[in-house]
Amino acid sequence: MSKDKISKKSSGIAGLIYPKRLPKIKVGAIKDDLGFTLNERLALRQVWNLIRPYERRYGQDVFYSFLNDVYWGINKFRDEGELNLKALHSHALHFVHFFGLLIEQEDPVMFQLMINDNNLTHSRCNVGSAYIGNLAQALVDHVLNVFQKVSSPSLERGFMKIVEKLKSYQDNQPINTAYNRLSKMDLP
């Protein structure tokens, strides 16, 4: 067969199928929809399985020491001068539990909704996202200190990504007055 007949055959249907083009190779770690690599996600989940039975203890250790360092923070839990211990204890537990839910969440939309809802709730109490981010950083520092023997760069990067997501959220401070109406002073 001549070369002309071979080139005509290859230009037909077979020419469209063969030779197959090679897919582009992605160099580096593949990230999920939330921006975590597989190693980061795995390290976070493994450490969270170690933390889960001790949520209350870690929450209290971090929350109380952080609130005492930030002297005005503990005043958020005062009712007419009295320290509301029930609210303080439950808030410490809920804080660590919320952090665990963020680690376990795989859906990016739900992840953002959880952070947004948390931010909106705290904005009503005049607690900004920077404050929440600093508290999350204190938890991360405590966990990395407690689990320093099993710590890894992947775990540290995973924790830092969660802290950055908590810190980067804008504060949603409502400017509404009674009955959700704007006052004359709120208008430009």
Residue 179 has pLDDT above 70, yes or no: no
Fold of 32-172: Globin-like (1.10.490)
Q: Can you give the pLDDT at residue 78?
A: 77
Q: Return the closest-CA partner of residue 42 out of 141, 161, 154, 140.
A: 154
Cα–Cα nearest to 143, from 40, 61, 39: 61
Q: State how far the Cα of 55 lies from the Cα of 139, in Å rounded to an integer.
A: 11
How is residue 19 annotated by DSSP?
S
Can you tell me the distance from the alpha carbon of 18 to that of 22, in angstroms, rounded to the nearest whole number? 11
Mean pLDDT for the stretch of residues 118-142? 84
Rounded Cα–Cα distance for residues 109 and 17 (Å): 39
The contacts of residue 140 (CB under 8 Å, 6+ apart) are 159, 160, 162, 163
161 versus 26: the higher-pLDDT residue is: 161
Question: Has residue 102 got a pLDDT over 70?
Answer: yes
Mean pLDDT, residues 95-104: 92
Query: For residues 58 and 92, is the Cβ–Cβ distance under 8 A?
Result: no
Residue 183 has pLDDT above 60, yes or no: no
Q: How would residue 122 be classed by pLDDT, with cut points 50, 70 and 90?
A: confident
Stretch among 10-19, 55-64, 170-179 having the lowest mean pLDDT: 170-179
- Cβ pair 54, 99 in contact under 8 A: no
